[in-house]
């Protein structure tokens, strides 16, 4: 199967739909999702909380039947698809403010969000992704090094492998902050970064698209 993640930056058009369709994913973990975002043949589940008037924090889209779960954190959407829990998260960044993160430093907000998130998810088979606002290697430019360490701890605790770790950001010299993590037992066939441009070369988002072909087992 193929899974993908993309931060839509609250934008939606036929060009966005075309780019998503071209990747032939079975499940999408989309963040900063406008409320009119839809994909033919896909069911969807959005966070209850919104970043703005028309922008949800995150959504899970699937060709297979979706069983929505309560949001484990206001900025995370979760659902059961094909017997697996799929969670899509936005995590704190340096200028994120206090809502819905609370007071404190970026690292404190990240650790707090991760604790709430993991406490709200069922134990067992999990695929977790989204815009984590942390590069997992190299220079840290959006989150914090302590936040990166906290994320790594969660990945280890949940027995997840991060398939997007070494993929580039759209900004040269930086690594992606958008991620997909799957069980360590999953077989990874390939991982791809897709430049988020329309047919005329116009940027569709300030984030690129990331996909992975895998066998969950």
Domain boundaries, the chain: 2-215
Provide the whole-model pTM: 0.96
Contact residues for 151 (Cβ-Cβ < 8 A; gap 6+): 91, 110, 114, 132, 134, 136
Q: What is the pLDDT of residue 78?
A: 98
The DSSP line for 126-190 is: EEEEEE-S--SSS---SS-HHHHHHHHHHHHHTTEEETTTTPBPSSTT-B-SEEEEEETTSEEEE
Q: How many Cα atoms sit within 13 Å of 144 on the Cβ side?
A: 17
The CA distance from 148 to 130, in Å, is 15
**pLDDT (mean) for 148-166:** 97
**Residue of 148, 146, 152 lying closest to 135 (CA atoms):** 148
**Dihedral sign, Cα of residue 59, residue 63, residue 68, residue 73:** negative
- 147 falls in which pLDDT band (50, 70, 90)? very high
Q: Contact at 8 Å (CB) between 71 and 49? A: yes
The CA distance from 94 to 197, in Å, is 26
- 126 falls in which pLDDT band (50, 70, 90)? very high
Mean pLDDT of the chain: 97
Q: What is the assigned CATH class of domain 2-215?
A: alpha beta
**pLDDT (mean) for 175-201:** 96
- 165 falls in which pLDDT band (50, 70, 90)? very high
**Residue of 24, 22, 30, 23 lying closest to 6 (CA atoms):** 30
Does 35 have pLDDT greater than 90? yes
**Dihedral sign, Cα of residue 103, residue 72, residue 170, residue 148:** positive
**Residue of 135, 184, 177 lying closest to 157 (CA atoms):** 184
Q: How many Cα atoms sit within 13 Å of 181 on the Cβ side?
A: 26
Place of tokens 């606002």: 133
pLDDT digits (tens, 9 = 90+) for 81-120: 999 999 999 999 999 999 999 999 999 999 999 999 999 9
Count of CB atoms situated within 10 Å of the CB of 115? 13
Does 124 have pLDDT greater than 90? no
């Amino acid at each position: 199967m193929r899974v993908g993640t993309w931060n839509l930056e609250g934008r939606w058009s036929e060009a966005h739909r075309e780019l998503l369709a071209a990747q032939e994913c079975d499940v999408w973990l989309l963040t900063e999702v406008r409320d009119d975002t839809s994909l033919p043949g896909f069911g969807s589940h959005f966070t209850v909380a919104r970043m703005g008037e028309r922008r949800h924090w995150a959504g899970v889209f699937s060709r297979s039947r979706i069983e929505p779960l309560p949001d484990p954190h206001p900025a995370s959407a979760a659902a059961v698809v094909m017997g697996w829990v799929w969670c899509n998260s936005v995590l704190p960044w340096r200028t994120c403010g206090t809502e819905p993160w609370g007071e404190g430093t970026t690292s404190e907000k990240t650790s707090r969000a991760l604790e709430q998130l993991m406490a709200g998810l069922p134990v067992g088979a999990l695929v977790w992704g989204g815009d984590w606002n942390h590069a997992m290697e190299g220079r840290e430019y959006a989150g914090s090094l302590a936040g990166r360490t906290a994320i790594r701890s969660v990945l280890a605790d949940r027995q997840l492998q991060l398939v997007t770790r070494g993929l580039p950001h759209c900004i040269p010299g930086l690594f992606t902050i958008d991620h997909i993590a799957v069980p360590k037992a999953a077989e990874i066939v390939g991982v791809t970064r897709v430049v988020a441009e329309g047919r005329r070369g116009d940027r569709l988002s300030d984030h690129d698209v990331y996909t992975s072909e895998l066998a969950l087992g």
